[in-house]
Amino acid sequence: MIDVSREGKTVILTINNPPMNVLNSELLKELDCVLDEISNDDSLVVIITGAGRAFVAGADIKEMMNMDPEEARRFAGIGQSVFNKIEHLPKPVIAAINGFALGGGTELAMSCDIIFASEKAKFGQPEVALAVIPGFGGTQRLPRMVGRNIAKELIFSGNIIGADEAYRIGLANRLLPHEELMDAAKKLADTISKKGPAAVRLAKKAINGGLDMTLSDGLDFEAEKFSDLFDTHDQKEGMDAFVNKRKPDFRGE
């Protein structure tokens, strides 16, 4: 249910569970395995998108409807674990939202580092309409991204918003014509892949780790990661290339 393709140093994961790419246990486990496979391969950037007219239209309601509390807790744990793995993957992850990104789809997008939205994209956490709440991170990541009050409005109402509103509130980095979505995501991925891989990796680690710290502790964490890079080939290569006005030859080490 996940198509894997590669273009240069970019790996593209396309969720392909027709007709609406809903998240079920099988798909989550497959995604978990794919993430393990690409975690330490030679790719430098990951793009996640959906096949057809949906990115991910939510979790599989038919699978959830007869769960007891223990089964529901286990299902939420699987989704949270997989999305945490995306958030902490040692390389940038770009979500290219091609259509419906509802419930688990919005939660998946928020676990990525950067969100590009097609003008056809739709976002929302409509779980309260089913008398449940977001269970794959929505109540935690959405307030951190758009602010507490906006997140509460979206989650309490279950309202679905368009790509323009998602961009306005800071949920999406860019709003793009539908036909330009993947080209824009690939262009950014190519730009990132030309930078020092270890530096990009530690920049992600510093940002993610520092958000859960006080500013003082976060600055110490940043200084630690900054100094770690001065023991790498790429730091020497990058600075020498800059001083001598030549193209650097980064090795990711």
The CATH number of the domain where 149 resides is what?
Answer: 3.90.226.10
Domain match, 167 and 51 both: yes
Whether the predicted pLDDT of 84 surpasses 90? yes
Place of tokens 């709440």: 133
CA–CA distance, 8 with 190 (Å, rounded to integer): 8
Catalytic site residue from 37, 63, 70, 127: 127
Question: For residue range 173-187, what is the model confidence (pLDDT) as tens digits?
Answer: 999 999 999 999 999
What pLDDT is attached to residue 253?
Answer: 84
In the annotation, is 253 catalytic? no
- pTM (predicted TM-score): 0.96
- Evaluated on CA atoms 3, 94, 144, 53, the torsion sign reads negative
Give me the domain span that covers residue 51. Answer: 2-193
Query: How far is CA 169 from each of CA 146, 173, 176, rounded to the nearest angstrom?
Result: 6, 10, 16
Q: Categorize the per-residue pLDDT at 252 as very low, low, confident or very high, splitting at 50, 70 and 90.
A: confident
Q: Do residues 14 and 62 both lie within one domain?
A: yes
User: Which of 26, 70, 107, 253 does the annotation list as catalytic?
Assistant: 107
Alpha carbon separation from 161 to 17, 58, 74, 167, 168 (Å, rounded): 23, 15, 29, 10, 11
Among 178, 199, 173, 177, smallest CA distance to 188 is for 173
pLDDT at 27: 97
Per-residue pLDDT of 188-229, as tens digits, reads 999 999 999 999 999 999 999 999 999 999 999 999 999 999
Is 237 an annotated catalytic residue?
Answer: no
Give pLDDT tens digits for 33-74.
999 999 989 999 999 999 999 999 999 999 999 999 999 999
Residues 105 and 218 in one domain: no
Give the residue ranges of DSSP H helices in 112-172: 138-146, 148-157, 163-168
Do residues 27 and 142 share a domain?
yes
